[in-house]
Amino acid sequence: MPDVRWSHVGLNCRDQAVTEAFYQRLFGFRRARVVPVDDGEIIFLRQGDVYLELFQSAAPSRVHGDADGPPDPGITRHLAFQTDDLDAFLAAAADVPVSLGPLSFDAFISGWRSVWLTDPDGLVVEVSEGYHDAG
């Protein structure tokens, strides 16, 4: 089997500039590349080894944008990030709609907390503090 690595998540955006600014401000993404296409451009954002690919779209959204994300098969439930300080993140993101939480999962992992918020296109984004693998 050849080596296979994570590449990116492609996001459809009503306004690429607004979505780009959101992920830059809250999650530290930076523009890595812009690829011109017939009807505009594709913007690649990078944060470490993680890439987001932004597509302009005028199609109506089917994303629910509530709780921890839509339960529909074939639609991304949410993107997830980790932080060392959820309270500081929430203070920096005070203007972003929260769809659920913050919730504590101390019953499973001591100190694990998460909040779910929505990006400019209604995609749910989870931010957690304190999660770690078993063992």
Output the DSSP codes for 79-113: EEEEES-HHHHHHHTTTSPEEEEEEE-TTTSTT-E
pLDDT tens digits, residue range 104-131? Answer: 999 999 999 999 999 999 999 999 999 9
Residue 107 and residue 15: Cα distance in Å, rounded? 40
pLDDT tens digits, residue range 25-74? Answer: 999 999 999 999 998 999 999 999 999 999 999 888 877 678 998 888 88
Enumerate the CATH 3.10.180.10 domain ranges in the chain, comma separated: 6-58, 66-135
φ, ψ for residue 93, nearest 5 deg: -105, 25
Residue 102 · residue 86 · CB < 8 Å: yes
Residue 114 and residue 8: Cα distance in Å, rounded? 23
Asked if the 66-135 domain carries CATH number 3.30.1360.120, the reply is no
Which of 3.10.180.10, 1.10.10.10, 3.40.50.720, 3.40.50.2300 would CATH assign to domain 6-58?
3.10.180.10
pTM score > 0.85 for this model? yes
pLDDT at 17: 97
Residue 7 and residue 55: Cα distance in Å, rounded? 16
- Residue 6, pLDDT > 90, answer no
